[in-house]
Structure 1
Amino acid sequence: MEPEIIFEDESLLILSKPSGWIVNEAKTTLGRLVVQGWIAKNFQYPISKNKLFRNGIVHRLDKETSGILLLAKTSDVFHNLQNQFKNREVEKTYIALVHGKLVPEEGIVSVPTGRLPWNKERFGIVPGGKESQTFYKVKKYLKKDGEDFSLVEFYPKTGRTHQIRVHSKYLGHPIVSDQFYAGRKTSRSDRKWCPRLFLHANKIKFRHPNKKKMLEFNLELPYDLQNCLDNLMKGVIKGSVKLV
């Protein structure tokens, strides 16, 4: 499955990134599914092939995270959107399924995160780390085989690598099927019924760089996560949960 266009005009390109796609090219991504290379191959806007501007990609999503990805078509728009992110003017929402009954139902995590000295691929709460802040709100409590789960919306105010995943673990409620932060045994068990990380970037709100009006985009859960959620809901309540 390739990325899909959600919205496009003369300034912006907004994509739905599937799980399994890496956002930015690197020495280690040769031969893999990478959004940056896909953009260069399929689009002709002014910075679509300019690696200095990451082919227009303004922010990133983890490989296994699906959802909304925002791109700029010109250097001016790129800088404008980057400044909106830097000034925390962009509102992002993620939906996740986490282990356990998360209480209180609303809260904030504000702890510094950084790369772990003993494992360069992973991040955690570290002294001297970068400021990281995430608000959350529980949407529903669920059960599976006697185990509690919480369907949660996360609203990150900063954009650190693996921020939501690390903050979920810090709360004691790691995200379902998170191979890095839920623990090997737990994630292996999760993947019997949820084959990938249950984290989806479902909303974004920002100011159009040229038209100056606020734009908001919503993207419902992809089929794989919705199917996991529906299966989890069976025998718990009637019907299914649809999130947009």
Structure 2
Amino acid sequence: MDPRFTLQFIAKKDGQLLREALQEWRISKRAVTAIKFDGGLLTVNGVEHNVRYILQLGDCVEVTFPPEKKSDGLAVEHGDLTIVYEDEAILIVEKPAHQNTIPSREHPTGSIANLVCGHFQQQGLASTAHIVTRLDHDTSGLLCIAKHAYIHHLTGLAQRSREISRKYEAIVHGHIEHDSQSIIAPIGRKKTSIIEREVRADGQYAQTDVTVLKRFFLNSEPMTYIRLQLHTGRTHQIRVHMAYLGHPLVGDDLYGGSRHFIDRQALHCVSLEIAHPLTNEPLQFTSMLPDDMLRLVKLSCL
């Protein structure tokens, strides 16, 4: 069985160059070059052709992408993945807290990406892990992985046009005054740190919507249980915006939160909505609040 990723398209125009059709199918020039030189294949009605071939209405075009190679620093590992959804194009998994999405210098192994590579190897896929929606090491919840570079390209286009929706739930210090609000404040790297971000005038546009679910006290400490929707995907966006608002996440000691109640930032991705990159079918996935965060809410008092 050919492990290469293959897609079929039907020509919708008479007399169109194959090259032009590939562009309409959002196959980039770089991908076409890789197909030509790195082991891919273009066929029309089962016969190999180059991009100058003139299509006829109804022709069946098959695009076989070259096999992918993972980076040398991404080790193949086998372990437990909590898979919420999987098909030929995308993989939705639930990431626990205290696990990296991708390897880092501090955590070179055991990441979601390492395990996904092992999962793909078991399936016989000539692919690597393409992370679409990344979560911080201590953030839990849903994330999306593309099973091929072309799918990653399509989901990247969807992200840039804000067609992928993510909702989070968090517990923050203090009682937030307004039941709902939108934080629009640019985020950039803090000059004194390679890790921290901050709201700064020369940062990138960032928008986070905040809705209060519950205000409560825990051991006389005021806290607010909130739902958040991201309109942009800046690094540490929710953590930075909530600290900027004066309500850092409980457990987020990098941005002013206390770890007295929980040993990580109390942040969980509860919802992920995406149009399927190949069929455009709307997909929605949800995730329950994890036990460590649920415990704080259940222990609360008004």
Q: Which residue of 1 aligns with 2:14?
A: none
Aligned residue in 1 for 2:116: 39
The answer to whether the 8 Å contact 1:113/1:126 transfers is: yes
CA distance in 2, matches of 1:180, 1:69: 23
| 47 and 215 in structure 1: CA distance in 2 versus 1, 3 angstrom threshold | farther
* Equivalent residue in structure 2 for 1:132, among 206, 210, 215: 206
Secondary structure in 1 aligned to 2:113? Answer: helix
Deviation at residue 217 of structure 1 after TM alignment: 0.4
Aligned length: 222
Question: How many angstroms apart in 2 are the aligned matches of 1:59 and 1:114?
Answer: 19
Alpha-carbon displacement from aligned partner over 1:25-66 (angstroms, at most 9, x marks no partner): 244432x431111111222364643xxxxx121121000000
The answer to whether the Cα contact below 8 Å between 2:251 and 2:260 also exists between their aligned partners in 1 is: no
Which of 1 and 2 has higher RCO (CA within 8 Å, sep 6+)? 1
8 Å Cα contact 1:3/1:18 also seen in 2: no
Q: Which runs of 5+ in 1 are unaligned?
A: 50-54, 238-244
Per-residue deviation, residues 198-220 of structure 1 (Å, max 9, x unmatched): 00001011101112111110000
Tell me, yes or no, if structure 1 residue 17 matches structure 2 residue 95. yes
SS of equivalent residue, structure 1 residue 62: coil
* TM-superposition CA deviations, 1:186-234 (whole Å, max 9, x none): x2xxx33322210000101110111211111000011222123222x2x
Paired residue secondary structure (2:214): strand
Separation (CA, whole Å) in 2 of partners of 1:148 and 1:26: 35
Paired position in structure 2 for 1:64? 138
Matches within 5 A, 1:1-244: 2-30=80-108, 32-44=109-121, 46=125, 48-49=127-128, 55-182=129-256, 187=258, 191-231=259-299, 233=300, 236=301
| Distance in 1 separating the partners of 2:82 and 2:112 | 11
Partners of 1:47 and 1:59 in 2: CA distance: 22
- TM-score, normalised on structure 1? 0.85
For residues 106 and 64 of structure 1, the distance between their equivalents in structure 2, rounded to whole angstroms, comes to 26
Listed one character per residue, the Cα deviations across residues 166-187 of structure 1 (whole Å, up to 9, x for unaligned) are 000011100001010025xxx2
Compare 62-71 and 122-131 and name the one that shifted more: 122-131
Identity %: 32
Provide the secondary structure at the position in 1 that maps to 2:268.
Answer: strand
> Aligned partners of 1:7 and 1:180: how far apart in 2?
33
Could you tell me the TM-score, scaled by structure 2's length? Answer: 0.70
Larger radius of gyration: 2
Measure the CA separation in 2 of the matches of 1:181 and 1:47. 41
1:77 deviates by 1.6
Q: Contact 2:138–2:265 (CA<8 Å) still a contact in 1?
A: yes
The CA deviation string for residues 57-90 of structure 1, in whole angstroms up to 9 with x for no partner, is: 1121000000001011122221111111111111
Q: Per-residue deviation at 1:161?
A: 0.4
C-alpha spacing 1:20/1:3, structure 2 compared with 1 (3 Å): farther
